[in-house]
Amino acid sequence: MSELVMQDNERLSQAMRPSGFTGRVFGWLMTRSNKKAYRWAIDQLRPASPASYLEIGFGTGAQLELAIRKLSIKKASGVDPSPLMLETAGKRLKRYRRKADIDLKLGDDNSLPASGPFDAIAAMHSFQFWRDPEATLARIRSMLAPQGRFVIALRRHGRSARRDVPNPLSRMPDEISAACAAFEKAGFTILAIQPISKSSHGIVLGCG
């Protein structure tokens, strides 16, 4: 295996499941670079006044913290495949346990909690790591409250999309169009779609 391939695999591994000292640095950088996406997601959810919230791939817990603070969430749940991020988010959100029922679990898109329905569900830049997007979207659709909102942020890879990510839709030249087709097939209605930054695109979905 060439040094370049090893470096690519290491970056992918840390993006999917941060670990060790490198993972801590990656988590910090991820939170910093995603601030605009986090604020965008909260703004999209604010009109719905959600009381319950689920995040798929919560990372350091920065967006969960925003949801509790800005949306007055009473039930905050999440899954993340990284033990390091579970520990990090747990420490970050400890101060809010009197304000909200917080339930964080180790897991990925295939191990979503069965404690729905949720008024709001978010997946910020985790879509590319889903192994079976069709099955995951079906589960999310069944967990979303009738008037609930699902917000998702996608990386804008364009025609330089990576071929080593697990999600087959993310390996397509036009990930956004492929994802939107999958959303509609799963029974979602696309309520809004817009660029968040030069490298990120946001989509707001409702029950069809």
Decide: residue 99, CB within 10 A, 0-12 exposed, 13-18 middle, 19+ buried.
middle
What pLDDT is stored for residue 11 in this prediction? Answer: 59
pLDDT digits (tens, 9 = 90+) for 58-114: 999 999 999 999 999 999 999 999 999 999 999 999 999 999 999 999 999 999 988
Residue 6 in this model has a pLDDT that exceeds 70: no
- pLDDT above 90 covers a percentage of the chain that reads 70
pLDDT grade, residue 8 (50/70/90)? very low
Q: State the pTM of this model.
A: 0.89
Other beta carbons within 10 angstroms of residue 208's beta carbon come to 11
What pLDDT is stored for residue 13 in this prediction? Answer: 67
pLDDT digits (tens, 9 = 90+) for 141-186: 999 999 999 999 998 765 555 667 889 999 888 899 999 999 999 9
What pLDDT is stored for residue 181 in this prediction? Answer: 97
DSSP secondary structure, 80-106, as one string:
ES-HHHHHHHHHHHGGGTTTSEEEEEE
Residue 54 in this model has a pLDDT that exceeds 90: yes
Question: What's the whole-number mean pLDDT along residues 33-41?
Answer: 92
CATH superfamily, domain at 3-207: Vaccinia Virus protein VP39 (3.40.50.150)
Question: What's the whole-number mean pLDDT along residues 112-131?
Answer: 92
Kindly state the tokens that stand for 122: 């978010």
Which residues, including other chains, have CB under 8 Å from residue 160's CB and lie 6 or more apart?
none
How far apart, in Å, are the Cα atoms of 165 and each of 9, 104, 121, 171? 10, 25, 22, 7
**DSSP run (H or E) holding 185:** helix 175-185
Top-confidence residue, 18 or 83: 83
pLDDT grade, residue 27 (50/70/90)? confident
Mean pLDDT estimate for the chain: 88
